[in-house]
Amino acid sequence: MRQMKKNPAGPAVICAIVLVLSGCEQKEPVSFADLPRDQWELLPMPAPDPAFFPEEENVLTSASTFSSPRSTAPYSQGLTLGDLRGQLPAFGVYFPELNPSNYQKIDAHVLRSMDVEQYYISYLSGEKLYKAGDYEKSIAEFSHAIKLKADYTEAYVYRGNAYRKRKEYDRAIEDYNRAIRYKNNLAEVYNYRGYAHGEKGDYEKAVSDYTQAIKLDANYADAYFNRAYAYDEKGDYDKAITDYTRLIALEPKNAAAYTKRGNAWYRKGDYDAAIREYTQAIALKPDYALAYFNRGIAWQRKEDVSRAEADFAMAEKFNPKKD
C-alpha cells in the first residue's frame, strides 16, 4: 500500500492533522480469523434431544453462474471534516502514527492535502466500513478504488471478503481470481477462495485451494483446519485426521481441533479413539458442551449408558435449553 510522502512543509501538514485526526488504532492485517472454526456439529445417531445446541452453519449452497462484481450501494465520499476531532499524542509525532491506514476517521480533503491518492482514500474508507460490518457500502468504496487502479490486489481481496460475508460466493470467487491474477503468492487469498468453493459444495476445488495456501505457508493453521473439514465432508477421514493432527501441532491448545479429530475417528468407527479426543478437548476447555455431548454419543455406541448420561448432563449444564 502506498505510504504518505514526507513533505518538507511538515508543520503545516501536522497542524492540519491536529485539527482532524480523531485518534489512531493499530491497523490489523487481513486475516482469515473470521472463518467459523468451532462450528456446532451434532453427530448423526440416536441421542437425547439436541435442540438446546445452536445450529451449525450450512456449508452447502447451490452453485450459480458468475456475474460481474458490482454494488447496489451508491459510492459516497467517506466522512465529513466536521465528524473529526482529536489531537496528536503529547509525547511527540511519529510517522507510523501519521500513516493514513491507522486513522479511525477518513476525510478525503485532509488526506488529499497530505498527498494521498484517491484510490487509496477509497480503499481506506472501504476497509473501515468492512470492519464496521457495512459490507454493501464497503463494496462501493472498494469498487471505486478498483475503478481508479485496476490492478489493486488488496481492494479485490477485501471486496471478495465483503461478497463472501454477504454469501455472494460466485462474486467473491471472481474477485479472488482477479487478486491471484495480479499477485499469486498470497496464501490467505487461496484460503478465502477455498472457503467460498466449500460453501458452494465444491470440495475438490476447496481442497486444491487450501493445498496451495499451505504450499505458500506451511504453518497456516486456518488452511489445515479448513482442508481437514473439506476432507471430512468428502468422507476422506484419514486425510482429515492427518490435517487435524498438523493443526494440533501448530495449536496444541485448540480444543475444537481435538473435537473435530474425534468426530473423524468416530465416523471411522473407532469409538475409543474418539473418546480420547473428546476427553482431551474437555481437559483444554472444561465447559465445552459439544465435546461432552459427542463423547456421550460415543459412550452410547459402546453401550456404556451411565457414562453417556453423565456426559449428556454436563453438555446441558454448560449449554442449557432456552425456554
- pLDDT 10s digits, 207-250: 999 999 999 999 999 999 999 999 999 999 999 999 999 999 99
Contacts of 92 (CB under 8 A, 6+ apart): none
Contacts of 159 (CB under 8 A, 6+ apart): 69, 126, 138, 139, 142, 143, 146, 175
Spell out the domains of the chain, with CATH numbers in brackets. 40-56+254-323 (1.25.40.10)
Q: Does the predicted model carry a pTM greater than 0.85? A: no
- pLDDT 10s digits, 59-116: 222 222 223 333 344 444 444 333 333 333 333 333 333 444 444 555 555 555 556 7
Give me the pLDDT at residue 290, please: 96
